[in-house]
Amino acid sequence: MDFRDRHVVVTGGTGALGTAVVANLIDAGAICLVPWLHEDEAQRFGYREHKQVRLMGSIDLTDEAAVGGLYGGGPAVWASIHIAGGFAMTPVAKSHKADLMQQLDTNLVSCFLCCAAAINAIGRSGQGGRIVNVAARHALEWRGGAGLVAYTASKAAVAALTVALSEEVAKEGILVNAVAPSIMDTPANRAAMPKADHKAWPKVEEVAATILFLASPENKVTRGAIVPVYGRS
């Protein structure tokens, strides 16, 4: 896949999945714009000094003006990949409005604002582009969301946003899709679930490969898809 001289925004690019996506994009020739919120994210990011990476921060992706600054004024964007988000596991009876709003802000609002800004940034080229969101397995399989209802609802909303938006911007040559990972094989997840069958979990490199195709010029027809990336789990 050829991303040479194409600018790609990767939110959550300093995390485990984001780093794998950025690595693949670098290999494919892309110029990666990677926003960060906390300084330690930027400091531990392995590609922070790479010539094809532009770290941009501190940026709160739930702040409309900050998101507008991330996408506005620079070169036209080919693709925008929205990995940034959050997870919470709390029973509804022990939750408060603030818990729900935190999940909606972190997962849905950040995705919505980045999609809106990306459409305008992609439009500057007049050549179309790609948007890839990250939903979750629970966004497709709601019954599995018992115990993490706020998270499930926020990711289901990301899936709905993706499908509706794909119809809205298709005629502009912007193809919008999402991946829906199950639990991914990361050091943090292994530490949290030491007795799980880690071999069955999808690897971040495998999920990244799917994201890369959906974001690539080689994807010429796929839009409105919520692609399960479950591995053998």
- In angstroms, the CA 202 to CA 70 distance is 31
Residues 6+ apart with CB under 8 A from 15: 83, 84
Give the Å distances, CA to CA, from 169 to 10, 73, 129, 177: 20, 21, 10, 12
- Which run of H or E residues covers position 209? helix 204-215
The token duo for 213 is 């195709």
The token duo for 83 is 């990995």
pLDDT tens across 120-137, in order?
Answer: 999 999 999 999 999 999
pLDDT confidence of 40, banded at 50, 70, 90?
very high
Domains of the chain: 7-229 (3.40.50.720)
What's the angle, vertex CA 16, arms to CA 10 and CA 19, rounded to 5? 45
Query: What integer pLDDT is reported at residue 117 of this predicted model?
Result: 98
pLDDT confidence of 73, banded at 50, 70, 90?
confident
Q: DSSP states of 111-176 as a string?
A: HHHHHHHHHHHHHTTSS-EEEEEE--HHHH-GGGGTT-HHHHHHHHHHHHHHHHHHHHHGGGTEEE
Residue that has been written with the tokens 């022990």 in this structure:
94
pLDDT tens across 148-202, in order?
Answer: 999 999 999 999 999 999 999 999 999 999 999 998 888 888 898 898 888 888 8
Query: What integer pLDDT is reported at residue 220 of this predicted model?
Result: 97
- In angstroms, the CA 96 to CA 131 distance is 32
Cα torsion 135, 153, 202, 12: sign: positive
Query: What integer pLDDT is reported at residue 199 of this predicted model?
Result: 87
- In angstroms, the CA 207 to CA 19 distance is 12
